[in-house]
Structure 1
Amino acid sequence: MRRWMLASALTAVLALSACTPEPEPGATPSASPSATVSASAAPTAPAISLPDCDSIYSPALVAALEAEGRTSEGDVSALGGGGWGTFDVGVEAILSAIPEAVHCTWILPASESGSTTSIAMLDDASRTALVAAFAGGGFVASTAPGGDLYSITVEEEFITYTESHLLTAEVWIASAYAFGDASTLTLDAAAQLLS
């Protein structure tokens, strides 16, 4: 019975294929829709996604910060009184207006030393405003892997702090560090994000 069913099915398939009309002489057969390949199907580079505060720095930098007794506070920018990757009021106004951003703060308990690294998505208008703010604020411009670096050291009566801002094609990585070197934080975060 099974052989008969297979033979009947095979006969039906052959009969149907015999009914397929032959192309007219001189006619070019058209390709089936499934055979066409779209030229716009080229792969695109994945967009940069913002890290969380647990993965913003390399394990080596995290170990170094913890060895100094520093602790991660996470994102405290919404609480006011700091928590941004800058101490400059004009630069902070630009940074705080960018919705796609993460801000990660570390402190050294019982001291005035603390740091924040912010990573924010960057558009042309923000870039233009930032470059003008850096120029007006006395930041020193240089190049770094992945983009342009703007740095400053500020010594006041009771505090010394540094800032380091890396502008890439897509993101702004900003660090402010009271009694520390902000460029270490910025460049480490950039290496994690852009690798």
Structure 2
Amino acid sequence: MLSRSLRTSALMAPAIAVSLALAATGCTPTPAPSPSPTTTASPSETPSASPTAETAALPDCDTIYSAALVATLTGEGRTSSGDISSPGMGGWGTQDATLEGILSTIPERVSCTWILPQSESGSTTSIARLDAATRSTVIATLTAAGYTASTVPGGDLYSIEVTFEVGSYNESHLITDDLWFASVFSGGQSQTLTLDAAAQLLP
């Protein structure tokens, strides 16, 4: 019996060894897969804002007209008086009392007067920056006063000719989206002044 047991043990030993080897192999942990590198999305660039056009400053009386128009005025013997505007005292680009009242209350404005010495001839051009409400008021006033409207490059032109006992004068008003060019001329053409002043300032 003993020798049979020994033989049986001897036969079983290799099988046990193989089983242990297989068991050991089965218990070996499978290596965890290495994490794939993650790609960090770069932040998208915020588009820069488009530059806004700067508001052009109003001219002074030295630059309100082109050099060619200044040469014409001085060639006629006219001289510049600068800005002599005063509420109720004249020096504005209109003789209409209502329009003068509106013009005199606008914060950003300039008025330039030229005179022909020893005569009744003179002219004034005013430029004022308009807000929407004032623009509507000016247009309504021009229309109610009988100014003739026409469309020109840059805006709407309102004109009138006034004759009285001792002479006459004419006015031309160009209204753009945010500017008012107003000229009055006794002894000349106000439209020439208005359109020339506008050409110096409008793009």
- With the shorter chain as reference, the TM-score category is 0.7 to 0.9
User: How does 1:4-153 map onto structure 2 within 5 Å?
Assistant: 25-31=37-43, 37-78=45-86, 81-153=89-161
- The one-letter code matched in structure 2 to 1:25 is P
Give TM-score, length-normalised by structure 1.
Answer: 0.81
Question: Kindly tell me: are residues 194 and 88 of structure 1, through their superposed partners in 2, closer, same or farther at Cα, counting changes over 3 Å?
Answer: same
Letter in structure 2 aligned against 1:30: S
1:14-33 Cα distance to aligned partner (Å, 9 max, x none): xxxxxxxxxx82241434xx
Q: Aligned pairs, how many?
A: 168
Task: Quote the offset at 1:37 in angstroms.
Answer: 4.2
Q: Which of structures 1 and 2 has the bigger CA Rg?
A: 2
RMSD: 1.6
Q: Give the Cα–Cα distance (whole angstroms) in 2 for the partners of residues 88 and 184 of structure 1.
A: 19
Q: In 1, distance between residues paired with 2:48 and 2:140?
A: 39
Q: Which residue of 1 aligns with 2:28?
A: none
Cα pair distance change 1:41/1:73, threshold 3 Å: same
1:151-170 matches, within 5 Å, as 151-170=159-178
Name the TM-score, length of structure 2 as normaliser: 0.78
Identity of aligned residues (%): 60
| CA shift digits 1:140-174 (9 cap, x unpaired) | 00011100000000000112000000011121100
Residue 105 of structure 1: SS of its match in structure 2?
strand
Instruction: Report the 3-state secondary structure (helix = DSSP H, G, I; strand = E; otherwise coil) of the residue aligned with 1:183.
Output: helix
Q: Which runs of 5+ in 1 are unaligned?
A: 1-23
